[in-house]
Amino acid sequence: MPVTDFEFKEKYRYKNGFGSYVETEAVPGALPVGYNSPQQPPHGLYAEKLSGTAFTAPRHENQQTWCYRVLPSCTHPPFEEDLEGPFNLTKPYSPASLRIIPNQLRWDPFDHDDQTDFVTGLRLIAGAGDPTLKQGIGMYIYAAGKSMNSHSAFYSADGDLLIVAQDGVLDIRTELGWLLVRPMEICVIPRGIKYQVHLPSGPVRGYALEIYQGHFTLPELGPIGSNCLANARDFQAPLACFSEDFGATAASGPNSYSITAKFNNGLFVTKQNHTPFDVVAWHGNYYPYKYDLGRFNTIGTISFDHPDPSIFTVLSAFSDHPGTAVADFVIFPPRWLVAEDTFRPPWYHRNTMSEFMGLIEGVYDAKKGGSGGFMPGGASLHNVMSGHGPDAESCEGARNAELKPMLVGKGSCAFMFESYLMVGVTEWGLKTCRKVQSAYNEHSWNGVKVHWKRPEGASTDGHLLK
């Protein structure tokens, strides 16, 4: 299926293309021509530059956007720390608060929460590194039952946030325009961009990955050529859209706007007397975007052996070492298998990368669902060098299956956040959420059978000199 058949229909227009240089204006003539910061921008607007990389970053890596807005972002009172923030970390944040353990972990589906909005419903489940050093990642579960207040906005100074919608629709208003994000879609909101999340279809649940360093990009294709996997043309960026509430009341009045900043995994709040959504026009290549996972063009073997799962990478955030990622976002959508004389599920393995998996819908072909299994809205974590692979039932089924062409994963999509970092788990993830499956190992691998039969006459001491 080339695109996802969504129940909730699209209602916005977008600009298409990954990493494209975009210009968009909600009012004709709002973008200055030939200048970025003229003495008097059109229509009495202010020019404000939003920099996602250092000014001196190489041209091919440089990310920035020029915004033309009613009032600049700095016009607000000082921030104050919100000591009741939702991230469940010891204050002040310390990477030492994470439990770094080798055990394989799996979680039952996380609960919906009707009492929270998107921000208060975010829960840090695992991560590594330190936002203050711009190194590492954070992995989240979100669950919300109500829209954010229309006079509020949120942004993260810690990193870019990739959101995976699992259940329910997110109608996201950003400074640069609107994005509608439905199950089987993802979006990325870069560091520093303010946004507000509405829930047009009711309660929502999903996953999120924050990268403290760099930005997501498309993986290199190498010998694959110039197409396949996630194609650049299928990524969508918002069009400029703005409001005109700009200071008729004081910042403490009933029409004030509450701005929440995530800073070193803590929350800070200020109130201002004008809307943050006042960008009338913008141009640049630093902006939020979304992508329909149904457009991912899978590839695989047409002869034998199961290729590495890197062939399912949608987006990567590269480290300083070529070929190694701070984070990869990988999906396992419906696909055909035709490999001859091949164990077709993912093989058993130990990986120098950490693997956090979630299930958007359906049943993952290497893990059985049902009670105590891998279920939509749940998750698993296999840390650096922790062994894992198909459960016993899936293994036996694959060993004995008739190897005819088959469509696997129909109606299903699993994903993986993969990182070269050793990942720690929060207290919320290990205990507070009460979703860890204590019998994960027993349920999955205690029943793996021994098929070994030593040939008659074969020795166990072939390493000895005769």
Phi, psi of 198 (to 5 degrees): -110, 155
Quote the Cα angle for 310-313-315, to 5°: 140
For residue 462, pLDDT beyond 80:
no
Cα–Cα dist 181/161, whole Å: 14
Higher pLDDT, 306 or 466: 306
- The catalytic residue among 43, 151, 198, 306 is 306
Quote the Cα angle for 41-47-50, to 5°: 155
- Token pair, residue 359, equals 């299930």
For residue 26, pLDDT beyond 50:
yes
Cα–Cα dist 325/128, whole Å: 13
Which DSSP string corresponds to 33-52? SS-SS-SS-GGG-EEEEEES
Higher pLDDT, 298 or 323: 298
For residue 92, pLDDT beyond 90:
no
Pair 95, 284: CB distance under 8 Å:
no
Higher pLDDT, 457 or 33: 33
The average pLDDT across 155-166 equals 98
Q: Is 175 annotated as a binding residue?
A: no
The average pLDDT across 230-234 equals 97
Q: Is 349 annotated as a binding residue?
A: yes
pLDDT in tens, 94-151: 677 899 999 999 999 999 999 999 999 999 999 999 999 999 999 999 999 999 999 9
Q: Is 112 annotated as a binding residue?
A: no
For residue 3, pLDDT beyond 80:
no
Give the count of beta carbons closer than 10 Å to the beta carbon of residue 53.
15
Question: Tell me, what's the pLDDT at 89?
Answer: 44
Question: Tell me, what's the pLDDT at 88?
Answer: 47
Percent of the chain with pLDDT over 70: 94
Pairing mode, strands 204-211 and 135-144: antiparallel
The average pLDDT across 261-281 equals 94
Question: Tell me, what's the pLDDT at 459?
Answer: 86
How sure is the predictor about 231, in pLDDT bands with cuts at 50, 70 and 90?
Answer: very high
Query: Catalytic: 306?
Result: yes
Residue 179 lies in a domain: no
For residue 93, pLDDT beyond 80:
no
How sure is the predictor about 366, in pLDDT bands with cuts at 50, 70 and 90?
Answer: confident
Q: Is 364 annotated as a binding residue?
A: yes
pLDDT in tens, 314-344: 999 999 898 899 999 999 999 999 999 999 9
Residue 368 lies in a domain: yes
Residue 8 lies in a domain: no
Q: Which of 160, 219, 209 is nearest to 358 (CA)?
A: 209
Instruction: Round the average pLDDT of the chain to a whole number and report it.
Output: 92
For residue 252, pLDDT beyond 80:
no
Phi, psi of 462 (to 5 degrees): -65, -10
Question: Tell me, what's the pLDDT at 369?
Answer: 64
Give 424's strand partners: 127
Question: Which residues lie below 8 Å from residue 3, measured CB to CB, with a gap of 6+?
Answer: 292, 294, 295
- Token pair, residue 142, equals 């979100």
The helix/strand/coil state of 394 is helix
Residue 5 lies in a domain: no
pLDDT in tens, 180-222: 999 999 999 999 999 999 999 999 999 999 999 999 999 999 9
The helix/strand/coil state of 220 is coil
Residue 342 lies in a domain: yes
Residue 235 lies in a domain: no
DSSP conformation class of 432: I
Cα–Cα dist 159/290, whole Å: 17
Domain count, the chain: 1
Q: pTM for the full model?
A: 0.95
The average pLDDT across 368-381 equals 86
pLDDT in tens, 341-362: 999 988 999 999 999 999 999 9
How sure is the predictor about 90, in pLDDT bands with cuts at 50, 70 and 90?
Answer: very low
Consecutive H or E run containing 123: strand 122-130
Of 44-48, 132-136, 235-239, 248-252, give the lowest mean pLDDT range. Answer: 248-252
The average pLDDT across 255-259 equals 88
Q: What range does the domain containing 314 cover? A: 294-445
Pair 106, 388: CB distance under 8 Å:
no
Residue 24 lies in a domain: no
Q: Which of 427, 342, 420 is nearest to 383 (CA)?
A: 420
Q: At 307, which CATH number?
A: 2.60.120.10
Residue 79 lies in a domain: no
Question: Tell me, what's the pLDDT at 251?
Answer: 55
For residue 438, pLDDT beyond 70:
yes
Cα–Cα dist 161/189, whole Å: 5
